[in-house]
Amino acid sequence: MGNCVAGEKEERERRAGGSTNDSSQTLLSGGQTREEEDEDEEEGQQKKSELVNFAGDMTESLSRGRISSERGHSVRRIIRQGYNLKKHYTHPTMDFSLKLSPILQVVEEHISFLASDGSLECQLEANAVVLELLKLRSHLGQNLIPLSMKNAFYRERLNLSGGGGALPQRSFRLDCIQFFEPLQFYGNEPGGLHELVKLYVFLLTEIDKLTPFMTFYLERTCHSGEFYHCLCFFCEGNVRGQFHIYGDQCPSYWELRDDVLANTEKTIQHIVSGGVDPLPETICVTTLETPRDPGPINL
């Protein structure tokens, strides 16, 4: 595994001058020094407390994050500048969207870069950046960022392949997506404590196809006052199943990512072999008599 800070230098060189800072700072005035960021920690803790009520157990694993790179501090400043948008807008106009979009792009690019490094240091920084984004969304609220406009964001997009040897080589993409808050599983409304909700979604698509052929969800429900988290999947033919049960603790994105990738690799091998290789082991598989739509993914 590489080092997050060293990788940051290579990434800046690759970007030939770093458009991350320039594109967003032309839209948002101001900036913060490290000292000013430290002074914001008390306010940040208050925002974090508000966010726990807003996003529930999705924030627990993120609280252990830490920004350690220069670029990470720059991304955090850009996110915090986004708080000013609430002073100028009361509903999501086109102008508001044009100012918000570069912030989200900067965040998604940085956390995707951190995930590609894979070191613990980079994972912790990604956790901290995602927590900052969730706090921004909580601050702006659903009046400015309604779920119908945007209910999720990319953690990363992975290119995968299968086949080789006697089997034809085929290319796939895995879109790794986090919802801004727990949403009703069959819908697009905030989920209550005792409802079936979705927290993350992973879309597995063959590159030359238009629609995903398998979708993974991290679900949460509540039984007898205890949370119950499960990695489930949907695939063609209204088939639904469960891959992994996590119990009352919400898994971190990194644990979930590893489990999804392990199942995805086996699923791809099953597909390219023409169904000869077995599918990943599942806890249970059912065929829904009446197709149900898990709801939109608005990115």
Q: What is the pLDDT of residues 181-191, one digit of tens each?
A: 999 998 899 98
Is pLDDT above 50 for 16?
A: no
3-state secondary structure of 233: strand
User: Which residues on neighbouring strands pair with residue 180, listed in sequence order?
Assistant: none
Query: Hunting for tokens 């080789």 — which residue is that?
Result: 164
For residues 211 and 285, the model is more confident at 211
Is pLDDT above 70 for 264?
A: yes
Is pLDDT above 50 for 52?
A: no
| pLDDT attached to residue 4 | 66
- Among 169, 163, 160, 176, smallest CA distance to 270 is for 163
Give the pLDDT confidence of 178-225 residue by residue, as tens digits. 999 999 998 899 988 888 999 999 999 999 888 888 899 999 988 877
Cα distances from 152 to residues 87, 113, 146, in angstroms, run: 23, 18, 11
| pLDDT attached to residue 269 | 81
Instruction: Please answer whether residues 87 and 78 qualify as being in contact, where contact means their C-beta atoms are separated by less than 8 angstroms.
Output: no
| pLDDT attached to residue 166 | 77
| pLDDT attached to residue 170 | 87
Q: Which residues contact 177 (CB under 8 A, 6 or more apart)?
A: 152, 153, 154, 155, 200, 201, 202, 203, 297, 299
- Among 134, 148, 11, smallest CA distance to 61 is for 134
| pLDDT attached to residue 59 | 64
**Neighbour-count burial of 102, counting CB atoms closer than 10 A to its CB (0-12 exposed, 13-18 middle, 19+ buried):** buried
Supply the DSSP symbol for 281. Answer: P
Instruction: Please answer whether residues 281 and 261 qualify as being in contact, where contact means their C-beta atoms are separated by less than 8 angstroms.
Output: no
- Please tell me the least confidently modeled range out of 62-71, 141-150, 256-265: 62-71
| pLDDT attached to residue 223 | 80
| pLDDT attached to residue 3 | 61
- Which contiguous run of DSSP H or E holds residue 72? helix 70-81
Mean pLDDT of the chain: 81
Is pLDDT above 50 for 14?
A: no
| pLDDT attached to residue 31 | 45
- Among 122, 32, 119, smallest CA distance to 78 is for 32
3-state secondary structure of 289: coil
Give the span between the Cα atoms of 202 and 220, in whole angstroms.
Answer: 15
Instruction: Please answer whether residues 203 and 215 qualify as being in contact, where contact means their C-beta atoms are separated by less than 8 angstroms.
Output: yes
